[in-house]
Amino acid sequence: MSDSYDVIVIGAGPAGYPAAIRAGQHGLKVACLDEWKNLDGSHSFGGTCLNAGCIPSKALLESSELVHRAHAEFATHGIRLTTVEVDLAQMQKRKAGIVKTSSQGIQVLFKGAKVTGLPGHGRLLPGRQVEHSAPDGTKTVLQAKHVVLASGSTPMALSSAPFDGERIVDSWGALEFAAVPKRLGVIGAGVIGLELGSVWRRLGAEVVMLEALESFLPMTDQQLAKEALRHLKKQGLDIRLGAKVTGAVVKGGVVEVSFADAKGAQSLSVDKLVVAIGRRPQTAGLLADGTGVALDERGFIRVDNDCRTGAENIWAVGDCVRGPMLAHKGKEEGLMVADRIAGQHAEVNYKTIPAVIYTAPEIAWVGQTEEQVKATGRPYKTGVFPFLASGRARAMESTQGFAKVIAATDDDEILGVHIIGPLAGELIAEAVLAMEYSASTEDLQRTIHAHPTLSEALHEAALAADRIAIDIPNR
Ligand code: FAD
Ligand code: AMP
C-alpha cells in the first residue's frame, strides 16, 4: 500500500529531517511531513532553524560584524576606508539566498536517502495513523509502523505587548527589517535577544534591551556572563537588568513601552520592538484524541530519556520535548530515535550538549558552570587563559575574553569548559569531544595544539588548572 510507511516524521526542522534521513539510510520507507510557510506563502523544509532562526541570524551576524570591523578595526590593520556604506537590501538578499540554498539542499538529501518529503500539516491519529493535509486542502490518511513527532517550537508572545507584525515583532520579524530602525527595543536579554540586538546595533540602531531578571545570562558561568556584559555594553547595547516590561502600544508610528524597574514605573519610545522572551513547544493541531501521547505542564510532549512518548512506537524529538531548545540537541535526538527504530543501540549524552551565543565575542560552553560545580560540594580547580596572551588572537585583533577549564581535584576529570572570545563556538568542539571521552585536564595538557592557533587557549587553560601554564604567569 503506497500510503503505508515504516516511519513517518512530522516536522522537517533540524530534529525531524535528520531523523528521516537516518531512517532512510537504514533502508526504511520514510515520509517526512512539514507545514512551514515562508512569508511569501511558499513552502520550504528546514523548520525554524533554517528558515527563521540559526541560519538567517548567523548570516546577518556575519555581515553586521564585518560592518563593525570596517568601522572599528580596519584602520588598526592599516586599511583606510573613506566610507563604509551599508546596503541592507543586498545584506538581506544574501541572507535569503543562503536560506533558500540550504532548504533546497534538504530536498536533495531527502532524494538521496529515498525519503518522501510531503509539504503540509500532519496530525497523529490513534493506531499510528497520520492525517496529512496537503497545501491544496487534500487530506490523506497514512499508516506508519513508527511515528516521530518533531514539531518544534514557536516564539512566546507577551499579551501586554501583542505582535502586530510591523512595529512589534518576533525574532523572525526582526530578521526581516527592510531598514535599520533608529531606536530598537528588545524585550528579553537571552540568547536570541542578544544576537538580534547585536545585529541591529552594529548596523547603527540605538538598542535598548529590557530584561526582567536581575542577573545576566543566569544559565552561563557567571565569570563569562560578567565579561560578556562588559563587552556588550561597550558596544553600545543598553542592557537594563531588572526591567520587567508591562505593556507596549503603537501610537503615531512609535512604540511606547512601559516597564518597571527598581526606580518604579518607566517608559521608553522606540521605532521597533522585538519580543524575545523565549519559545514554547508547537503542538497545536498535532495530536488527535486517543493517541496516548501526553503533554507536560508546560506543554512539551512527555518523553523518557530515549525520546519514547509512552504510546507504542511514537517518539518525539527536538524543541517540542524537554531539554535545551537547540538545533544540535534535536538532531542528536532524531538520529538516536532513527537508529533505535532500526534496532540499533543509540543514546544522547545530555551532559555534553554545547551551547553557543553568537555575539562578539562569542560565548560557548559545555558541561557544568563553576556555580553548579561549587553547589555539588566536589573539590575542583579552574584554569583560565586570556586571549590577550594568544599570538593568533593578537594577530586577528580579537583579544577579548578567555578560555576556562573546570576540573575535579580528585580525579582530574574535566567538568566544564567555558570560552568567551573569537570563534568560541568552534573552539568548544574540542572540549565537547574531550568530555565525551571523559578526558582529564592532563589529557588536554598532553595533546599537541598547532601554533599559532586560537585552540592553544584551551591547551593553556588546561595547563593553568594545574598552575603550569607557559604563556601566562601562574598564580
Ligand atoms: P523546528 O526547527 O521548529 O521545526 C519544526 C518544523 O515542524 C517546522 O517546520 C514546523 O512548521 C513543522 N511543523 C510543526 N507542526 C507540524 C505539523 N503538525 N505538521 C507538519 N509540520 C509541522 N539553535 C541553535 O542550536 N543554534 C543557533 O544558532 C540558533 N539560533 C537561533 C536563532 C533564532 C532567531 C531562533 C528563533 C532560534 C535559534 N535556535 C538556534 C533554535 C533552533 O532554531 C531550534 O532549537 C531548532 O530549530 C529546533 O528544531 P526542531 O526540528 O525541533 O523544530
Ligand atoms: P531566553 O529564554 O534565553 O530566550 O530569554 C528570554 C528572556 O526574556 C529571559 O531572560 C526572561 O527573563 C526575559 N523576559 C521574559 N518576560 C519578560 C518581560 N516581561 N520583560 C522583560 N524581560 C522578560
- Please list the active-site residues: 451
User: For atom 50 of ligand 1, which residue has the closest CA?
Assistant: 152
pLDDT digits over 384-405, tens only? 999 999 999 999 999 999 999 9
Pairing of strands 254-261, 264-270: antiparallel
Cα(14)–Cα(326) distance, integer angstroms: 9
Cell numbers given for 445: 595538557
Q: How far is the CA of 165 from the centre of ligand 2 (A)?
A: 20
Cα(278)–Cα(296) distance, integer angstroms: 18
Residue 317 has pLDDT above 90, yes or no: yes
Give which of 166, 123, 325 is closest to 255, Cα–Cα: 166
- Higher-confidence position of 2 and 96: 96
Cα(363)–Cα(359) distance, integer angstroms: 7
User: For atom 8 of ligand 1, which residue has the closest CA?
Assistant: 47
User: For atom 2 of ligand 2, which residue has the closest CA?
Assistant: 278
Residue 68 has pLDDT above 60, yes or no: yes
pLDDT digits over 212-250, tens only? 999 999 999 999 999 999 999 999 999 999 999 999 999
Q: Whose atoms come closest to the Cα of 161: which ligand?
A: 2
Q: Residue 432's pLDDT is what?
A: 98
| Range 265-277 average pLDDT | 98
DSSP run (H or E) holding 76: helix 74-77
pTM over 0.95: yes
- DSSP one-letter string for 18-74: HHHHHHHHTT--EEEEE--B-TTS-B-SSHHHHHHSHHHHHHHHHHHHHHHHHHHTH
Q: Residue 2's pLDDT is what?
A: 60
Q: Residue 1's pLDDT is what?
A: 45
Q: Is residue 210 in contact with ligand 2, taking CB distance under 6 Å?
A: yes
Out of 159, 192, 210, 211, mutate this one to test ligand 2's pocket (max ligand atoms within 8 Å of CB): namely 211
